[in-house]
Amino acid sequence: MALPTAQPSIHSTTTTARPAQSLARRLLFPNHSGDLPPLLTAPNVPPELQAELYDFIALALRAYVSPWWTKLTRYDKEFLPQIARTLTAVIRALESRVLALDLSALVFHHTPTILTQHYHDYRNAASKLSSSYATGGAASLPQLFHHLQPHIALSADGKIDLEYYRQIVDHILKACLPPEDYAPDVERVIVREVIVKVLVDDVIPKVTQPWFIQKAILDVLASDEEERLFKAPEPPSQPTSTMFSFHTFIVVVLSALQSFSSTCLALIHAYKQAINTIKLVNQSPPHTPRSTSPPPQPPTNDNETEPTQSKPPSTPPTPSTASSLSYYSRSAFPQTPTVLTQHDSLNYASSPLRLFSEIFLTSERLAATSLINLLGMISASMTSFLDKLLPHLLYTTLSPGFILNLVRLSKRTMFPNGYPGPPLIEPTAEEQMALREKLVGWRGSGALSHLAPLLLGADPRNTLGAAIDPLTCQPCNIHLVVILLDRILVGLFPELVGSTGTGTTLATGTTVLNSEHTADSGHDGNAAPRAISVGGTTVGAAGGAGIT
């Protein structure tokens, strides 16, 4: 009689079981052994960030590609791994371009300047409504704004031309994709149309909604208040006795000593932190864009201080393919060198101060004007230090840990249960009005609440309402987003500007302001800055953009 076969024990089963594989390995690299290929090549990237990025890509492909691909062919398992390999090459190409981007100039110069001009042009267009400038009131606010900021990708009512972004995305695909993936026309057109559709039909219309912008501002402003809201309530104070006792005197003295010691410790810690930060800033080298290739040279003579003034405005010089964002910075600010020296300054604090003054209309209130002038004098006396401090704070904030938390937050928001969450519901008209009222009624907290009367004046609601109004028109917001996107694309892909060999020329149309005002021009210090020529394109109140 045959003996029964011995069953494996629980111990042997548990010891021989294979460890659970991640979703990215099972879905994107099913036949790959060993570590996954790195997505980012920077030396200080933590492994957790690589894993989170791969997990995010796997979740996105499983949610948006697998449902329709399995209907076409159920047995083809190589499509998603091929997409993952292509995405790896694209992300590496984008990483090298991001490292070569001058983030300091983008954040502290170009973005505040574009926002300042948006506010100025919106208020200028709003003041012309129901006047002869608006053809007797027939022209709408978006039409008047479009005349001040014409853009070839936009119509007068804020409609986006798809062909504009088709050409841009096609160039981006050519620069980032491997040649074997860019060569097939059908695949390239499908990928291009998907990206253009998501950008033009989904992303831009959503982020330009006034209620979306107001909700985003409220989320940023209310973060500290919500933290205080969820704190444990303080115990109710005991009723004080009118009779004097030695015990009460001891409690009062000890409480005062504790408060004084806590304040002293906080001041000492702040002082040490400030001294440490100052030492790090003074000892750190200037933050320059990292690039493996030598920096491109602008197609102008270095001895010329203003090369664009030597030619008439009708025939501006066209930059060559080697133009870069550093050339834009040098053209927009003639005294701005690429490398910070002992006697030169970048003046990073001037544009944010000018933006703050334009948003809250500080020129209309004496106290706010005095405060802005005081801050301007302080920043002018500390220009060389602020030019090192602000980039140091920017690059410290954009650390790998911050990017890791951002990826995790995005993954939890977009895929709460491993799959896409419910779509964002647009609030009703009453809810949108409640958002605006809540934003207008914001008064800050802590030291900011004491400075609010100086900054906002006697009627804070009116001041905050005027600050919100330039962001309440969606066609005007589309102009702002498109111009900001143009500036970012020019920084990442400088060959888009003046690529004469390919027949594609992106004239950014980004409004760049001159921070200097001549004394004999008839304008005071609070007047609108003058438009200048940037990168061979005359920009400003009549600046345009286009692809030719």
> What was the pLDDT predicted at 144?
92
> What was the pLDDT predicted at 338?
36
Rounded to the nearest 10 degrees, the angle between the axes of helix 79-99 and helix 474-492 is: 80
| Residues in CB range of 547: below 8 A, 6 or more apart | 152, 153, 163, 164, 167, 168, 504, 505, 506
Give CA separation, 233 vs 224, 240, 251, 445, in Å. Answer: 16, 20, 22, 18
- Which one, of 193, 240, 157, 252, lies nearest residue 473 by Cα? 157
Rounded to the nearest 10 degrees, the angle between the axes of helix 429-440 and helix 210-221 is: 40
Q: Give pLDDT tens digits for 276-303.
A: 777 777 767 666 555 444 334 434 433 3
Distance, in Å, from the CA atom of 63 to the CA atom of 67, rounded to the nearest integer, reads 7
> What was the pLDDT predicted at 165?
94
- Which one, of 420, 438, 465, 470, lies nearest residue 208 by Cα? 470
Q: Residue 349 in contact with residue 386, Cβ under 8 Å?
A: yes
The SS3 assignment for 526 reads coil
Whole-angstrom distance between the N-terminal and C-terminal Cα of the chain?
A: 90
Token pair recorded at residue 199: 């950008």
Token pair recorded at residue 321: 């393919």
- DSSP state, 363? G
Burial of 37 (0-12, 13-18, 19+ CB in 10 A): middle
- Which one, of 83, 89, 85, 80, lies nearest residue 40 by Cα? 89
The SS3 assignment for 6 reads coil
Q: Residue 216 in contact with residue 468, Cβ under 8 Å?
A: no
Distance, in Å, from the CA atom of 322 to the CA atom of 336, rounded to the nearest integer, reads 19
> What was the pLDDT predicted at 376?
92
Residue length of the chain: 548
H helices present in 65-209, as ranges: 66-72, 79-99, 103-105, 111-127, 141-148, 162-176, 179-182, 185-197, 204-207
> What was the pLDDT predicted at 502?
38
Distance, in Å, from the CA atom of 345 to the CA atom of 339, rounded to the nearest integer, reads 9
pLDDT in 10s for each residue of the chain, 548 residues: 455 555 554 444 444 445 567 888 888 888 777 778 888 888 888 888 888 999 999 998 888 888 888 888 877 788 888 888 888 888 899 999 998 899 999 999 999 999 999 999 999 999 998 888 877 778 899 999 999 999 999 998 889 999 999 999 999 999 998 888 888 888 888 889 988 998 998 899 999 999 999 999 988 887 654 444 334 444 444 555 555 567 777 877 788 888 878 888 888 877 777 787 777 777 676 665 554 443 344 344 333 333 333 333 333 333 332 333 333 333 333 333 333 344 456 889 999 999 999 999 999 999 899 999 999 999 999 888 888 888 888 888 888 888 899 899 888 888 888 888 888 788 999 999 999 999 988 877 766 777 778 888 888 899 999 999 999 999 999 999 999 999 999 999 998 886 443 344 454 443 333 333 333 333 333 333 333 233 333 333 333 333 33
Q: Give pLDDT tens digits for 46-83.
A: 888 888 999 999 998 888 888 888 888 877 788 888 88
**Chain CA centroid to CA 542, Å:** 25
Give CA separation, 423 vs 58, 78, 429, 540, in Å. Answer: 20, 30, 19, 38
| Residues in CB range of 200: below 8 A, 6 or more apart | 160, 162, 165
> What was the pLDDT predicted at 5?
53
Distance, in Å, from the CA atom of 323 to the CA atom of 106, rounded to the nearest integer, reads 16
Token pair recorded at residue 436: 């605006």
Give 534's strand partners.
537
- DSSP state, 496? G
Residue 175 CB: number of other CB atoms within 10 A?
16
Token pair recorded at residue 393: 């704070």
- Which one, of 274, 295, 405, 347, lies nearest residue 105 by Cα? 347
Give CA separation, 460 vs 79, 374, 444, in Å. Answer: 58, 21, 11
Classify strands 533-534 and 506-507 as parallel, antiparallel or unpaired: unpaired
Q: Residue 368 in contact with residue 455, Cβ under 8 Å?
A: yes
Distance, in Å, from the CA atom of 108 to the CA atom of 287, rounded to the nearest integer, reads 13
Distance, in Å, from the CA atom of 102 to the CA atom of 289, rounded to the nearest integer, reads 5
The SS3 assignment for 547 reads strand
Distance, in Å, from the CA atom of 425 to the CA atom of 428, rounded to the nearest integer, reads 9
H helices present in 183-245, as ranges: 185-197, 204-207, 210-221, 223-229
Distance, in Å, from the CA atom of 120 to the CA atom of 11, rounded to the nearest integer, reads 74
Give 154's strand partners.
160
- Across 440-480, the runs of DSSP E, i.e. the strands, are none
> What was the pLDDT predicted at 488?
94
